[in-house]
Chain A
Amino acid sequence: RKEVEQDPGPFNVPEGATVAFNCTYSNSASQSFFWYRQDCRKEPKLLMSVYSSGNEDGRFTAQLNRASQYISLLIRDSKLSDSATYLCVVIVYTGNQFYFGTGTSLTVIP
C-alpha cells in the first residue's frame, strides 16, 4: 500500500468555482503535513502547512483529519493562475522521511 494516495484528476473547473482535493496517508505515526504546488516541469513550491485546527491563506484552506488519516485542500474562487499540480506531502519523523502523493492536476477554464 502506498504511503500517500491522491486522486490524480484531472480536475477541470470554470473560473470562480470552488474545488477540493483530498489525500490519504497510511502511517498513523505521520507527524507533519504540507501541500505543495508544482507547475509543469518546474520544482514543487510550498503552498501551505496543514494543521489539525485547519488553516487558511486567502482563498486556500487546508485541513487535517487524523482520525480518518486524510488531509484536504480547498480552493475558493478559482483563478486561471491556480492551474497546476498539487502535491500532498506527509512526514514521518522516523528517518525524517518525506512521502509525496502523485499529485492532483487542476486546470481552471476561462
Chain B
Amino acid sequence: DGGITQSPKYLFRKEGQNVTLSCEQNLNHDAMYWYRQDPGQGLRLIYYSQIVNDFQKGDIAEGYSVSREKKESFPLTVTSAQKNPTAFYLCASSIGTAGNEKLFFGSGTQLSVL
C-alpha cells in the first residue's frame, strides 16, 4: 500500500543534541512538507520541498534543517539551536501540481526533551 512513513513514533532529545526525524513516501509525490503542531496552535510549516535537491524555509525554520537527496525521502533534523523542540511533528506530501494538491500525512513523531 502506498503511503507516508514517519519514524520514530516517539523521540527524546537531550539538551545540546541533534536528532533526525525520518519521513519516507512511496506515493511518487514531488512535494514534501514538515509541520510542527503545538497544542492550540494548529500546524506551522517548517520546511517544504517541491522537487529533489531543492527545499524552502517555511514560517518557523530556525533551529531545523532538511535534505532532499531522493524523491522518496525528506528527513528533518532538529538541531541544538531549537530551544523549544517539544512538539508533534508531521510530515506530508502532495502531488504538487495545481488542481491536485491534496495533502497526505504520515502518522507523526512526538518529540520531547529530557
Contacts and interface: CB of A to CB of B under 8 A. Distances in A.
Interface in A21-53: 31-32, 34, 36, 41-46, 49
Interface string B85-98: 00010100010101
A28 B99 CA distance: 17
Contact of A89 (B31, B41, B56, B103): B103
Contacts, number: 52
Contact of B105 (A43, A49, A91, A96): A43
A87 interface: yes
18 contacts: A31-B98, A41-B88, A41-B108, A41-B110, A42-B108, A43-B90, A43-B105, A43-B106, A87-B43, A89-B103, A93-B98, A96-B31, A96-B94, A96-B101, A98-B33, A98-B94, A98-B101, A101-B42
Question: Which of A34, A95, A102 has the largest number of chain B CB atoms within 10 A?
Answer: A102
A45 B108 CA distance: 12
Secondary structure dominating the interface of A: strand
Contacts of A44: 43, 90, 103, 105
Interface residues of B, number: 25
Nearest to A101: B42
B108 to A, nearest CB: 5
The number of chain A residues touching the other chain, given as a range, is 20 to 34
B16 interface: no
Contacts of A103: 42
B50 interface: yes
Nearest to B43: A100
A14 B104 CA distance: 31
